[in-house]
């Protein structure tokens, strides 16, 4: 297969030969081969648990391979730790940022550079120069807590660029960005590529891979199962290479207009407990039975505060600010809201969605206790096991058995378990935060299908996500949240990704009180 970066293909920057990594009960990487040329943007694709993260950690020196060779610029190397990787010119931007909120941009970057950053004034100048050079302008004196998510990602990337960077590894870099910020990032990455920097790009967003990457390597079960040129094969073929020909891939779902209003939020104002959080300001919206309302937004703009107000984790100031089917619930706790038909999928899988050290059986009981699993204070263990098995079977959760700990599952499989646990309770209202965050296309397809089926059974569904493509796929109506304010909503078919992207940056007029017509009718 021809390579688009032919001028550089005679000498590879990075070569992996036969890389193998075994963990107890899991062969994470099985004789993996990978080659990246100077200036090449190379995608690494695969399902959750395919071995991508393990491979990246070995390139960056976080862990060591059990077998195989890493060839760096023609020389076999033993990358002992991330510090050594950085000194070689390898930088990595993880999916979860590692920045200190109360320190400045310069101070955060200095921490990563160690002894190389003794002169903070000189470093600040270097940051300004490099960030301007690559179209990612940063004020080196600003504190991290004052930056948007997109700006924080710039800090992570510039932290790599102020060094002599030769290979940049990006793990799901667009998952927290607006469409406009994605465009800016891609301009930067193409400039880096033009300047000879190699880029290893990990993403589940195949359209972005198709638009950006020169080549792609696909992993399944720890093995390389294929290589392709994304621009030539297209997103559908890449998805099939990742999950197999027999796995269905998400397609367009019919839109629904909904029926009677079930969830109504009226004049909700809430001050965040988090000093770096967002205060909710005059939030008004409704969700009808038999529809999905999608709320887009960049992280940190009030999503957490809104979800806490809906789930009952935070009690609002007046009962009527949140109603379920005309019943005021604003002062009710989470259990009382569940008794009225609420199911809830939090953003954080481990710790909030599931207890890491507990078995799947015990985790199924955490929110499923109202399904006849507990009687006069005693747990019906047989029913609880049957419920856990039902979740595992219906949602195709890959696990040795129902006694496996939640933390032993891959992210995608744990997400399927949590979603399944909530959906199988047949809720009247499902509130889901980032339902397919970080999961592969096969798991995402299964989750989307389950949400649509629940909607079609008459449930009201609210989905909060940073993935605009996902929201356009499954939502019947769309709006966005920015700095604690909610945009007007529109039927999905009547808006565009560009318009929603503008809403995510705060370019909208706040909804007028006409939305209260629906609110009033919901109380009738």
Domain positions in the chain:
6-243, 259-341+460-524
> Rounded distance, CA 234 to CA 238, Å?
6
pLDDT at residue 6 in the model? 37
Strand partners, 343: 430
71: CB partners within 8 A, 6+ apart: 12, 14, 15, 16, 17, 77
Q: Which of 482, 395, 404, 479 is nearest to 435 (CA)?
A: 395
- State the pLDDT at residue 376: 87
pTM over 0.85: no
Class of residue 354 by CB neighbours under 10 A (exposed 0-12, middle 13-18, buried 19+): buried
Out of 80-84, 441-445, 509-513, the most confident range is 80-84
What is the maximum alpha-carbon separation in the chain?
Answer: 75
Interhelix angle for 149-161 vs 105-113, to 10°?
40
Q: Report the alpha-carbon distance of residue 121 to residue 133 in Å, rounded.
A: 19
Q: How far apart are CA 225 and CA 203, in angstroms?
A: 17
Per-residue pLDDT band for 282 (boundaries 50, 70, 90) equals very high
CA 515 to chain centre: 30
pLDDT of residue 438: 67
Report the C-alpha gap between 470 and 295 in whole angstroms.
11
CB-based contacts of 401, cutoff 8 Å, min separation 6: none
Residue percentage of the chain with pLDDT more than 70:
93
Q: Is the pLDDT of residue 498 over 60?
A: yes
Rounded to an integer, the average pLDDT of 385-413 is 90
Banded model confidence at residue 1, pLDDT cuts 50, 70, 90: very low
DSSP state of 294: E
C-beta separation of 282 from 268 below 8 A: yes
Lowest mean pLDDT among 49-53, 94-98, 319-323, 513-517: 513-517
- Residue 261's alpha-carbon distances to 90, 333, 428, 513, 524, in angstroms, are 53, 21, 11, 16, 10
Q: How far apart are CA 109 and CA 105, in angstroms?
A: 6
Say yes or no to pLDDT of 8 above 50: no
How much is the mean pLDDT over the chain? 88
Of 23-27, 308-312, 406-410, 414-418, minimum mean pLDDT range = 23-27
**pLDDT for residue 500 is more than 50:** yes
Whether residue 456 is predicted with pLDDT greater than 50 in this model: the reply is: yes
CA-angle at 489, arms to 483 and 494, nearest 5°:
130
Inter-residue contact 90 to 167 (CB < 8 Å): yes
Structure confidence at residue 368 (pLDDT) = 93
Report how far residue 300's alpha carbon sits from residue 49's, in angstroms, rounded to the nearest whole number: 28
Minimum mean pLDDT range among 3-17, 84-98, 172-186, 468-482:
3-17
In the structure, what pLDDT confidence band is assigned to residue 460 with cuts at 50, 70 and 90? very high
Q: What is the mean pLDDT of residues 16-43?
A: 93
Question: Greater confidence, 113 or 144?
Answer: 144
Average pLDDT over residues 507-511: 80
C-alpha distances (whole Å) from 188 to each of 70, 137, 143, 204 are 27, 11, 23, 20
Fold match flag (6-243 vs 259-341+460-524): yes
Domain at 259-341+460-524, CATH from 3.40.50.300, 3.50.30.10, 3.40.50.20, 3.40.50.740: 3.40.50.300
The whole-number pLDDT of residue 7 equals 41
Residue 427 zone, left/alpha/beta (φ > 0; ψ -120 to 50; rest): beta
Q: What is the DSSP code (8-state) at residue 347?
A: S
State the Cα–Cα distance between residues 301 and 482, nearest whole angstrom.
5
Choice among 121-125, 174-178, 246-250, 396-400 with the minimum mean pLDDT: 246-250
User: Residue 279, Cβ neighbours under 10 Å: how many?
Assistant: 13
Cα–Cα distance between 416 and 413 in angstroms, integer? 5
Tokens representing 239 are 């998805």
What the block records as the tokens of 157 is 């990337």
Reply yes or no on whether the pLDDT at 279 is more than 90.
yes
Q: Is the pLDDT of residue 2 over 70?
A: no
Provide the 10 A C-beta neighbour count for residue 196: 14
SS3 404: coil
CA distances from 379 to 366, 426, 519 (A): 11, 21, 40
The residues, ordered by sequence, that sit 6+ positions from 485 with a Cβ below 8 Å of its Cβ are 281, 282, 283, 302, 506, 510
* Over residues 328-337, mean pLDDT: 96
Lowest mean pLDDT of 32-36, 270-274, 482-486, name the range.
Answer: 270-274
Give 307: exposed, middle or buried? Use CB within 10 Å, 0-12, 13-18, 19+: buried
Which of 180-184, 249-253, 497-501, 517-521 is the least confident region?
A: 517-521
Question: Does residue 491 surpass a pLDDT of 60?
Answer: yes
Is residue 214 pLDDT above 50, yes or no? yes
Tell me how crowded residue 438 is: count the other CB atoms within 10 A of its CB: 19
For residues 256-283, give the mean pLDDT. Answer: 91
What pLDDT does residue 246 have? 63
pLDDT for the residue numbered 250: 61
Mean per-residue pLDDT, 223-239: 88
- For 6-243, which CATH superfamily applies? P-loop containing nucleotide triphosphate hydrolases (3.40.50.300)
């Amino acid at each position: 297969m021809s390579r688009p970066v032919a001028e550089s293909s005679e000498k590879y920057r990075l070569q992996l030969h036969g890389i193998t990594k075994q963990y107890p009960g899991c062969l994470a990487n099985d004789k993996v081969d990978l080659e990246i040329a100077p200036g090449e943007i190379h995608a690494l694709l695969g399902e959750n648990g395919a071995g991508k993260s393990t491979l990246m950690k070995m390139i960056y020196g976080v862990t060591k391979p059990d077998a195989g060779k890493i060839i760096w610029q023609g020389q076999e190397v033993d990358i002992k730790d991330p510090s050594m990787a950085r000194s070689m010119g390898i930088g990595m931007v993880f999916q979860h940022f590692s920045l200190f909120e109360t320190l400045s941009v310069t101070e955060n970057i200095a921490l990563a550079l160690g002894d190389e950053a003794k002169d903070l004034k000189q470093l600040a100048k270097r940051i300004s120069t490099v960030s301007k050079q690559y179209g990612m302008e940063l004020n080196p004196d600003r504190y991290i807590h004052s930056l948007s998510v997109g700006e924080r990602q710039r800090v992570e990337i510039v932290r790599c660029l102020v060094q002599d960077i030769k290979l940049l590894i990006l793990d799901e870099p667009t998952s927290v960005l607006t469409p406009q910020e994605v465009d800016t990032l891609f301009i930067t990455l193409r400039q880096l590529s033009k300047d000879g920097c190699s880029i290893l790009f990990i993403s589940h967003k195949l359209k972005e891979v198709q638009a950006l990457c020169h080549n792609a390597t696909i992993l399944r079960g720890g093995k390389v199962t294929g290589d392709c040129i994304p621009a030539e094969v297209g997103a559908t073929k890449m998805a099939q290479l990742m999950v197999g020909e027999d796995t269905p891939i998400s397609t367009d779902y019919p839109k629904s207009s909904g029926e009677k209003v079930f969830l109504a939020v009226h004049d909700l104002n809430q001050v965040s407990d988090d000093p770096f959080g967002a205060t909710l300001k005059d939030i008004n919206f409704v969700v009808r039975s038999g529809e999905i309302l999608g709320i887009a937004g960049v992280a940190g703009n009030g999503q957490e505060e809104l979800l806490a107000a809906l789930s009952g984790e935070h009690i609002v100031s007046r009962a009527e600010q949140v109603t379920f089917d005309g019943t005021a619930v604003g002062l009710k706790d989470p259990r009382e809201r569940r008794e009225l038909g609420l199911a809830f999928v939090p953003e954080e899988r481990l710790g909030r969605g599931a207890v890491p050290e507990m078995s799947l059986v015990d985790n199924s009981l955490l929110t499923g206790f109202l399904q006849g699993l507990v009687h006069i204070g005693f747990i019906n263990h047989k029913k609880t096991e049957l419920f856990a098995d039902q979740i595992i079977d219906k949602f195709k959760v890959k696990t040795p058995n129902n006694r496996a700990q939640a933390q032993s599952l891959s992210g995608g499989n744990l997400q399927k378990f949590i979603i399944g646990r909530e959906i199988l309770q047949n809720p009247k209202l499902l509130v889901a935060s980032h339902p397919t965050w970080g999961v592969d296309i096969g798991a995402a397809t299964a989750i989307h299908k389950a949400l649509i089926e629940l909607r079609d059974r008459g449930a009201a569904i609210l989905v909060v996500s940073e993935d605009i493509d996902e929201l356009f796929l499954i939502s019947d109506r769309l709006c966005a949240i920015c700095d604690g304010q909610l945009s007007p909503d529109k039927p999905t078919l009547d808006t565009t990704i560009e318009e929603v992207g503008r809403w995510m940056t705060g370019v909208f007029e706040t909804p007028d009180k006409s939305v209260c017509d629906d609110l009033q009718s919901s109380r009738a």
